[in-house]
Amino acid sequence: MSQVSFIILARNEEHQISECIESVQKFQIADEILLIDDLSTDRTAEIAEGLGAKIIQHSMNGDWGAQWNFAISQAKFEWIFFIDADERMTEKLAKHLRKIVDENDQRFAYNVTRLNYFYGQKLKHGGWFPDYALRLFPKEGVHVEGFIHQTTHHPREEKNLPLDEFMIHYSYRDWDHYFKKFESYTTMAARKMQSEGKSASLLDILIRPAWASFRMYVLRLGFLDGKIGFFLAMFHFFYTMVKYVKLMYLSEQKKDRGSI
């Protein structure tokens, strides 16, 4: 019978890591829980180890793709499932995952959707659901690329698991958490676009935020999520603006360095 390694990449997640691991253990789906700890300065590793997870200390150095590849290389079993510290396993998903692993048909890799929560409220619209990501795949022949947003390369056909077999994702605990991610994510997004050879004009900064907010709130029905849908659409306006402002200044700095 084939087996599956659950992998968590974490840094300073002491407030969430126990609930994540316990949600996996509850359904007896994991044959191994492997936590790759990015040199946390809190009790993340201690808590995870106390729950039976295997801990490996390994610095990410800002390279998510390299960290994923390291994690995959350290996994003991032939199937891999990635779960983040702010995600929780659910019963329907766990049952289907166990069935897939037991059947061991390695022609396929599987995308799992996430049901996002913000301040305890489900986000079912505005582009928040379905939120598919590749999470379950055979270990052999997998390679991940990308410093920020990863691309997983593998020789298999991908399948989407049913929408009612989701993970719960607590994407933002509160507004303070949101704005901390806002700062880091806009910087990472700008750097990614720069690495792809993109640049930003004043027109981008004026037009793209309005379009992004309109698309989230109106075209993707964000208004059906009530006031939180409105707030998130408005903040998406500013997120998009800041991302392109940062891209503009990154591009200008690159030009300045090139002219020296």
Q: Does the structure show a pLDDT above 70 at 151? A: yes
The domain locations on the chain are: 4-171, 174-259
Closest C-alpha among 148, 144, 151, 143 to residue 62: 148
Closest C-alpha among 172, 167, 170, 148 to residue 235: 172
In this structure, the number of other CB atoms found within 10 A of the CB of residue 159 comes to 12
Structure confidence by residue, pLDDT tens digits, 53-79: 999 999 998 888 899 999 999 999 999
Q: Which amino acid is at 172?
A: Y
List all residues 6 or more positions away from 220 whose beta carbon is below 8 Å from its beta carbon: 125, 126, 127
Share of residues in the chain with pLDDT > 90 (%) = 82
List all residues 6 or more positions away from 248 whose beta carbon is below 8 Å from its beta carbon: 199, 200, 201, 202, 204, 205
**Which of helix, strand or coil describes residue 158?**
strand
Find residue 44's DSSP bridge partners: none
Structure confidence by residue, pLDDT tens digits, 73-121: 999 999 999 999 999 999 999 999 999 999 999 999 999 999 999 888 8
Structure confidence by residue, pLDDT tens digits, 169-228: 998 777 887 888 899 889 989 988 998 899 999 999 999 999 999 999 999 999 999 999
Q: Which amino acid is at 16?
A: Q
Q: Does the structure show a pLDDT above 80 at 146? A: no
Q: Does the structure show a pLDDT above 70 at 166? A: yes
- Band of pLDDT at residue 258, cut at 50, 70 and 90: low
Average pLDDT along the chain = 93
Q: Is 214 exposed, middle or buried (0-12, 13-18, 19+ CB in 10 A)?
A: middle
Query: What is the per-residue pLDDT for 197?
Result: 92
Query: What is the per-residue pLDDT for 28?
Result: 95
Least confident interval from 26-40, 48-62, 147-161: 147-161
| β-strand pairing of 4-10 with 79-82 | parallel
- Give the fold, CATH level 3, of 4-171: Spore Coat Polysaccharide Biosynthesis Protein SpsA; Chain A (3.90.550)
